[in-house]
Each structure stands twice: as structure tokens, then as C-alpha cells.
Amino acid sequence: GWFRLPELMGKRTVFRQYRPAARTVALAGNFHDWTPNPMVRLQEGVWELALPLPPGEYLYKFVVDGDWQADPNNLHLVDDGLGGFNSQLLVPS
């Protein structure tokens, strides 16, 4: 099983997803007014995006081929008010 939580690398938070069958993967969250940011496909179905996020609490989802989904690797979920969940991330200071 491929399992990756967002991780702090220097001053950037790196988001990764293993979605080998996806044509497009984007990241959306309250850090960019929920505007999807395209992720880059690396090798063998791994998608990645690094963002400079200041310390704080964030909510996010992945947009996989147009389908908005909570991060399946993150068990910290918050009701999104629309019948689903947002993933929660805390960037430490």
C-alpha cells in the first residue's frame, strides 16, 4: 500500500497522491479559496504539488478527474457541509 501524508520540506508543504489511473489531479483548499491547483505527475502514478504554507490549520481536497475527494491517507476529517468531508492539515510553527 502506498501511503503519504502531506509533509513539510523546508518552507513548503508537499502533497502527494498515488493515482495511477488518473488523467488529472489537482489540490484545492482554503489556502487558495478552494481554487484547484494542478498537481504534477511524477513516475508510476504519483502526483505531487509543493506549496509555501505559513503555520496554521488548513482544509483541503484532491480533485481527481473532476471528482472532489478527501485525502484517503489523512484520517483527520472535517464535515464539509455538503454531505462529505474535507481533510484537515496542521502546519506547525
The per-residue pLDDT for range 12-22, each reduced to its tens digit, is: 999 999 999 99
> How many Å apart are CA 40 and CA 57, to the nearest integer?
24
Note the pLDDT of residue 2: 63
Confidence of residue 1 (pLDDT cuts 50, 70, 90): low
Note the pLDDT of residue 43: 85
Note the pLDDT of residue 50: 97
Residues 34-55 pLDDT 10s: 999 999 999 889 999 999 999 9
Residues 58-93 pLDDT 10s: 999 999 999 999 999 999 999 999 999 999 999 998
